[in-house]
Structure 1
């Protein structure tokens, strides 16, 4: 959650691309933690089975970062 908060802070400071990358990294961190932690230890990052969680978090993390890095222009671009 701290990484997501960092991303949201950067977005509110008008560094939306950097903040979005931080949120994508938080998803990748969740995927990595889900691989390492048992179901009892995973807590709120456990949604379905371990494989589904890792694939979902990993896919969405990569997609969020890819979109953040490829969008051009916009009202908040720097």
Structure 2
């Protein structure tokens, strides 16, 4: 006898697993914001920028059924916006003199 799929046996766990890519990105952004709050603004903003780039890569590489709420628009638009903003934030942060 085959077992029913996870989403029928444990719907909460299945939903949580589906949202893992978004959770990873949000945790990384939270770590970056915490770093900014404790006055390591340059490192914190670089962490946030790299988290956004990672979100773009996850959106590009994962299938639609696994990407969860990282899929907001079409795949090309999501990837370009996430990676573009992440690269721009990192570049601007690293180009500010001082520090």
Instruction: Indicate whether the TM-score tops 0.5.
Output: yes
> What is the count of residue pairs matched by the alignment?
74
Matching residue of 1:9: 34
Unpaired runs of 5+ residues, structure 1, are: none
Separation in 2 of the partners of 1:72 and 1:45? 33
Matching residue of 1:49: 74
Deviation string 1:17-69 (CA, Å, 9 cap, x unpaired) is 10000000010010110012122221121121111111111111100001111
Q: CA RMSD in A?
A: 1.2
The TM-score, its normalising length taken from structure 2, stands at 0.69
Tell which has more relative contact order, 1 or 2 (C-alpha 8 A, sep 6+). 1
Shift of 1:72: 2.7
Separation in 2 of the partners of 1:27 and 1:71? 20
Shift of 1:3: 0.7
> Which stretch has the larger CA shift, 39-48 or 12-21?
39-48
Check if 1:30 corresponds to 2:65.
Answer: no
Separation in 2 of the partners of 1:65 and 1:7? 12
Check if 1:63 corresponds to 2:71.
Answer: no
